[in-house]
Chain A
């Protein structure tokens, strides 16, 4: 049951990702990205990360995608011609895939005997709001507070960029 769900939603995730990079219309790409994020949220639930799944839907599929769609529609983009730089892409992608295969080989060597199903640190609260919150606010309080500084800087940056009069 769990493996069927994994394969179905992994296939949906990959299909959505392929649509993102292959659709001509940016609106279609954005909607395919929503599909990818929702399928990923289901995968997070399979990984016993309920809180993360909810965050994924709220922040990614909600806030970030609204931002993308708003920008695409605000700018009223024409459909771009899909041009491919046929000479360089195989080389670049080949190098990238080679790096990833090598790293994947080392990951496989390292985790050969390790399967999901390892004992959980706190089985009853694993992945819930309580569990994540305890780790977040006990062990990682300073990084958590620092992310708020990051967000403030991002807000200030966006306001500074957007308010600048172009003349």
Chain B
């Protein structure tokens, strides 16, 4: 069987990123949109760690730790906004929440 190269991991990363972007574009629920954002961040993390293995350098893994920190902070703030929005508007449908739409 063919051995696994970095290309396999990058293709997987691209597929995950596209699926996440598809979720962000199509879904109407704010929480599911946040989950799709996590998918996209996860795709970036896979690329980081694959390149780290490729070059035999642990810097990519260190950056992945930073990315996880950012993802955790983003999720916490995002979910706080979600809860506040739900209490204020009574819905999480982004077709209803168009206050910032020009």
Contacts and interface: CB of A to CB of B under 8 A. Distances in A.
A154 B83 contact: no
Given A13-B12, A13-B16, A114-B54, A147 B29 contact: no
A115 B3 contact: yes
Nearest to B23: A21
Contacts of B49: 44, 47, 49, 52
B52 A47 contact: yes
A10 B31 contact: no
A93 B15 CA distance: 12
Contact of B29 (A80, A132, A153): A80
A108 B87 CA distance: 48
Interface of B is mostly: helix
Interface centre among B36, B45, B68 (most CB of A within 10 A): B68
Interface in A30-88: 30, 33, 36-37, 40, 43-44, 46-49, 51-52, 55-56, 59-60, 63-64, 67-68, 71-72, 74-75, 77, 80, 83-85
B84 to A, nearest CB: 6
Interface in B1-42: 1-12, 14-23, 25-29, 31-32, 34-36, 38-39, 42
24 contacts: A3-B3, A14-B12, A17-B19, A17-B39, A33-B39, A37-B42, A43-B9, A51-B61, A67-B75, A68-B79, A77-B31, A77-B92, A89-B22, A107-B10, A111-B7, A115-B6, A117-B3, A120-B56, A121-B58, A126-B58, A127-B58, A147-B69, A150-B70, A154-B72
Interface of B: 1-12, 14-23, 25-29, 31-32, 34-36, 38-39, 42, 45-46, 49-50, 52-59, 61-62, 64-66, 68-77, 79-84, 86-88, 92-93
